[in-house]
Amino acid sequence: MENNHSDNNLNTESNKFSYDTNTQNNLNKKYFYAKKYNRRIYPIYKMFSWDLLFYYSIIFLFLTTEKGLSASQVLLVDSFYPLFKGLANLPCLALTDKIGRRKSLIAGNLLVTISILVVILSVRLRHLILANFLCALGYSLKNLSESTLLHECIEPGKTANSQFSKINGQGSAYYYVFDAISTALTGFLYIYNAYLPLFLCMISSIIATMISYTFEDYSAPKEKTFKVSSANSSYNYLTELIASFKFIFNSKRLRALLVFTGLFSGLLQIRSSMSSSLLKDIGLPNQYFGIVFAILQIAACIASMRQNYYHKKYRNKLLSNFSLKYTLSMIILGIVVILNIPYIPTLILFFVFQIIQHTVKGPYYVLIQRYLNSFTTPEISTKIYTVSSILEAFVGSILAFLASMLLAKTTTAYATLIIGLSMFIIFLFVLDYMRPRFGLKPEEYDKKDIEYVSPNKLLESKKAD
The answer to whether residues 187 and 287 touch, using CB atoms and an 8 Å cutoff, is yes
Helix runs in 50-63, H state only: 59-61
Q: Which tens digits make up the pLDDT trace of 171-200?
A: 888 888 888 888 888 878 888 888 998 999
Q: To 5 degrees, how large is the angle CA 176–CA 182–CA 185?
A: 140
Q: List pLDDT tens digits, range 243-297.
A: 777 888 888 888 889 899 989 988 887 777 777 778 778 887 766 777 887 888 7
**Rounded mean pLDDT of 29-44?**
84
Instruction: Inform me whether the pLDDT recorded for 428 exceeds 90.
Output: yes
Using CA of residue 438, residue 441, residue 447, residue 450, what is the dihedral sign?
Answer: positive
In 3D space, the residue among 200, 176, 174, 185 whose CA is nearest the CA of residue 57 turns out to be: 185
Q: Look at residue 89 in the predicted model and tell me its pLDDT.
A: 80
Position 306 scores a pLDDT of 83
Cβ(73)–Cβ(166) below 8 Å: no
Give the pTM.
0.70
pLDDT in tens, 146-161: 877 887 888 776 677 7
Q: Please state, in angstroms and rounded to a whole number, the distance separating the CA atoms of residues 420 and 34.
A: 46
- The predicted-structure confidence for 322-338, as pLDDT tens digits, reads as follows 999 999 999 999 999 99
The enclosing H or E element of 407 equals helix 378-409
What percentage of the chain carries pLDDT values higher than 70? Answer: 83
